[in-house]
């Protein structure tokens, strides 16, 4: 495989790249000369971009066409996969609720069983004829504890496939922001990390320009003045 190297040569700018490496503007003459170099370089950049515009567009259209065909081929299979995933998720959530309720019921029954056993021992202790027997029964009553119970899950978290491999279900969750201001407040109060906030600089700059916000108007916002050169042919 060979690579095609494209050289861009424009008369009058062959020395600009080297000259710009150590550029320092100290006089009005330097400033004026730099404008010419800036314009030559800017024009050359536009020429390079123009040169590659058509190949890029052709490649973009080819890529778009391939992506469209891929999307169309994937569509019915993606719908089917998502339907299975949704039903499996719904089933596991439903079974989880049933298991939780069964767990609560089993724990309540275990507590009731322990309570009745303790009640019987306390009644026998009250009716005991000797102090030694009474203390023995009271000690037994104190030692009664609720036996731990565990309801086995119905759903197998890992299913071995007949054609090899396996499919596993792992508990996860989705996060939905319902109040952006509340989220920002949580960040301020250190309840959430600052890294979750994504500042859109372009939108922020547009807002500052429209509202004529200046340096110092808003804490945490620094507005740096700079000049942008505009090259017009």
Question: Counting beta carbons within 10 angstroms of the beta carbon of residue 44, is it exposed (0 to 12), middle (13 to 18) or buried (19 or more)?
Answer: middle
| Residues facing residue 168 across a β-bridge | 158
The whole-angstrom separation of Cα 153 and Cα 9 is: 73
Shared domain for 133 and 181, answered yes or no, is no
**Tens of pLDDT along 193-221?**
999 999 999 999 999 999 999 999 999 99
Shared domain for 151 and 51, answered yes or no, is yes
Q: Out of 174, 190, 211, pick the residue that ends a domain.
A: 174
Residue 51 has pLDDT above 50, yes or no: yes
- Looking at residue 13, its pLDDT comes to 64
The pTM of the full predicted model, rounded to 2 decimals, is 0.61
Mean pLDDT, to the nearest integer, of 86-98? Answer: 91
| Residues facing residue 159 across a β-bridge | 167
> Is 11 within a domain?
no
> Is 230 within a domain?
no
117: domain range? 16-174
Mean pLDDT, to the nearest integer, of 74-80? Answer: 97
């Amino acid at each position: 495989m060979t690579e095609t190297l494209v050289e861009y040569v424009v008369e009058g700018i062959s020395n600009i790249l080297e000259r710009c490496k150590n550029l320092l503007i100290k006089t009005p003459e330097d400033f004026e000369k730099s404008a010419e170099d800036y314009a030559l370089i800017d024009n050359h950049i536009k020429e390079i971009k123009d040169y590659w515009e058509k190949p890029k567009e052709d490649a973009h259209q080819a890529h778009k066409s391939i992506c469209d065909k891929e999307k169309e081929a994937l569509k019915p299979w993606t719908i089917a996969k998502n339907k299975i995933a949704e039903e499996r998720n719904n089933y596991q959530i439903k079974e989880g609720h049933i298991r939780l309720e069964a767990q609560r019921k089993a724990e309540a029954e275990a507590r009731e069983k322990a309570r009745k056993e303790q009640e019987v021992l306390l009644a026998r202790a009250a009716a005991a004829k000797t102090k030694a027997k009474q203390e023995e029964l009271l000690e037994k009553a104190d030692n009664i504890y609720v036996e731990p119970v565990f309801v086995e899950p119905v759903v197998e978290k890992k299913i071995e496939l007949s054609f090899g491999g396996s499919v596993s279900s792992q508990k996860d969750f989705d996060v939905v922001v319902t109040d952006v201001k509340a989220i920002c407040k949580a960040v301020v109060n250190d309840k959430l990390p600052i890294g979750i906030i994504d500042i859109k600089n372009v939108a922020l700059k547009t807002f500052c320009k429209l509202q004529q916000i200046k340096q110092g108007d808003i804490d945490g916002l620094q507005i740096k003045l700079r000049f942008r050169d505009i090259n017009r042919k």
